[in-house]
Structure 1
Amino acid sequence: MQTKVFQPDQLAAAAAELAAGELVAFPTETVYGLGADATNEAAVKKVYQAKGRPSDNPLIVHVADVATVKQYVADFPVTAEKLTQAFWPGSLTIILPLKPGAFAKTVTGGLNTAAFRNPRNQVTLDLIKQLGRPIVGPSANTSGKPSPTLAAHVLHDLTGKIAGVVDDGPTGVGLESTVIDLSTPTPTILRPGAVTKEDIEAVIGSIDADHHKVKPDEIPKAPGMKYKHYAPNAQVYVTAAADFKAAASWARAQGEPFGLMATDQVLAKFPVLAADYRFSLGDSIVTASQRLFDGLRHYDQLPEVKFIFAEEFPAVGLGVAYMNRVAKSAGQQYFVQK
């Protein structure tokens, strides 16, 4: 299959591909998603095939407005009204109970709930409106690999497997959306993102954060809860800023090439290290979050690199989401001075 690159002024052609049951990747403010008509079961099955995604990993349904969500759900509680008013369009995904038969099991992973999001990207909102139906949108990458924040990342993983990608440049947030479950008695965050627990509690009051490990026979209610995610080819170690010199010394002792992913302040301590092995995360948790996946993908282009040392940030605010992703990319491996 030839994979086309659509520009934002070519949405009619992209929507026609979706209407024909094909897959088109689309931009959001978080990462690029892999789009299919959410009401077309055959098209949704292609998403799993293209990504190599486990069939019990549910998909997020992207909508152009709140009214669309209300067509499919059994209940739209006051908490959902408040959250959508506060954060939509934006980086918040909301899990709600469905009307019977609202979506095929391929969308929900066999659950009676679905996750909905209204992305903060006008190009994609216009694409959904042109299609006239919601679209599923997991990250547009090979399952388990770092999520795509550029159209080039999508093409690297999925060229020849999908009909096209709408190129709207780099994404702004860089980490996938916060997922909150409103189908349970107490609203619960299942995946942290740019909309923080504190942000949500300021709107609807006290909520929980779910830290349980999904069992092998359990269907996850949200993406990112069960399977390996965000992993490059090299072994990642989450590394405190003060430990980078020790980490570099340890890697040299192993006789293996290594790469750094750190703030400019840390990288300044390694002026003799080749530029390709120093990936800047900028100067803050905001830029680090924007650049994390791009950095992991950068090192996948350097097969000689065996170790990646990625900077640790305090797990507060946006840092909760950043640390969630970087720790998963490392398989929960932290560098400890040897």
Structure 2
Amino acid sequence: MKSLPPTPAGLDQAAALLRAGELVAVPTETVYGLAADATQPDAVAAIFRAKNRPADHPLIVHLGGLEQLSQWAARIPDCAWPVIEAFWPGPLTLVLPASARVPAIVNAGQETVALRWSSHPLLQALLDRLQRPVAAPSANPFCRISPTAAEHVRAHMAGRIAAVLEGGPCNVGIESTILDLSGLRPAILRPGAISAAMLQPYLDLAERAAPEAPRVPGNLAAHYAPRQPCYRLEASQVPAHAHERVWQQAAVLAIEAVAPPCGWLKRMPPTPDGYAQALYAALHEADASGCPTVWIVLPPNETPWRAVRDRLLRAARPWGG
């Protein structure tokens, strides 16, 4: 795997690899994405092989600008435009009716497509060179911890992809909010940095997605998981379990200090945005700590923490004693 610098020459190399049908890991403001030219079905198919990702799990298409939106969406409802004006480019993915040009392998043969315009300057510069969108899920093996730094990509995707474009750490840290605008009423299909409270002034949001809502990335019950067994518990449950031997040998992620001591402790930021930015890097550290298990003391079960808790509830299973 080549490491490409964040320079004009590095961007030119990344664009050339993508045109040739290769896979390149690219930085975004959320997590590193595994990019392929979205107009080349064979290149997109290589994403699924590299990640061991099921073919029925659709991909997000990253646009190079608003001018590409109408090329990939068959219809853009009026309610989309205030949201686009407020939050694009940024960590928001819109699910819209797919145009005829969307390859079936990109959207798993559905009638919808997930579209995003990233705010990351390197990805914008790359797409400007490429002059076409890329399909790009997170650049990690399927269901494992998402990468928020190039070293995470190198550690887990070496030998599977052509290159990684170096872009430093991701400043949001968790995947984009996915907003479904293809149905009768807008609904959030995956929480992220753009919260329901932020969207509510622009939309009449449904409280929950309809049963027939499109399939989207990141909604499996188990996802974002370390290789080591990973358990979760609420802060109020810690006193009941902290004297167990498994706890004393574990890697623990917690906002507050824990007692008695555990095997390895990562103190997490006390704010939702700070926690989100640090989350996946902390899980990668815990996975590499040498501890036999990872335990996560969950942050508060409050609305501002919804996106973070969504990731943690999928990454870890409840401790059964």
TM-score normalised to structure 1 length: 0.89
1:184 corresponds to: 183
SS at match of 1:310: strand
Whole-Å separation in 1 of the counterparts to 2:40 and 2:221: 25
Tell me whether 1:6 sits opposite 2:4 in the alignment.
yes
In the TM superposition, residue 270 of structure 1 has moved relative to its aligned partner by 4.3
Q: Which runs of 5+ in 2 are unaligned?
A: none
2:284 corresponds to: 297
Whole-Å separation in 2 of the counterparts to 1:144 and 1:255: 24
2:215 aligned to which of 208, 213, 221: 221
Question: 2:150 touches 2:164 (CA, 8 Å); kept in 1?
Answer: yes
1:279 corresponds to: 266
SS at match of 2:200: helix
In the TM superposition, residue 59 of structure 1 has moved relative to its aligned partner by 0.2
Whole-Å separation in 1 of the counterparts to 2:233 and 2:210: 22
Whole-Å separation in 1 of the counterparts to 2:155 and 2:117: 26
For 1:159-210, what per-residue CA distance to the aligned partner results, in whole angstroms no more than 9, with x for missing partners? Answer: 1111111111111111100001111011111100010111111112333332
Whole-Å separation in 1 of the counterparts to 2:227 and 2:24: 26
Whole-Å separation in 2 of the counterparts to 1:256 and 1:180: 41
Cα distance change of structure 1 residues 21 and 74 upon mapping to structure 2, 3 Å threshold: same
Tell me whether 1:316 sits opposite 2:312 in the alignment.
no
In the TM superposition, residue 305 of structure 1 has moved relative to its aligned partner by 2.1
Amino acid at match of 1:84: I
Whole-Å separation in 1 of the counterparts to 2:205 and 2:188: 11
Whole-Å separation in 2 of the counterparts to 1:243 and 1:179: 32
Tell me whether 1:38 sits opposite 2:33 in the alignment.
no
TM-score normalised to structure 2 length: 0.93
Tell me whether 1:160 sits opposite 2:159 in the alignment.
yes
Whole-Å separation in 1 of the counterparts to 2:156 and 2:117: 25
* Count of paired positions: 319
SS at match of 1:42: helix
SS at match of 2:303: coil
SS at match of 2:251: strand
Amino acid at match of 2:312: V
2:275 corresponds to: 288
1:27 corresponds to: 27
Whole-Å separation in 2 of the counterparts to 1:169 and 1:255: 33
Q: Which runs of 5+ in 1 are unaligned?
A: none
Whole-Å separation in 2 of the counterparts to 1:105 and 1:262: 42
Whole-Å separation in 2 of the counterparts to 1:220 and 1:163: 31
Whole-Å separation in 1 of the counterparts to 2:239 and 2:115: 44
Cα distance change of structure 1 residues 234 and 256 upon mapping to structure 2, 3 Å threshold: farther
* Aligned-pair identity (%): 35
Amino acid at match of 2:105: T
In the TM superposition, residue 108 of structure 1 has moved relative to its aligned partner by 0.6
1:208 corresponds to: 207
SS at match of 1:323: helix
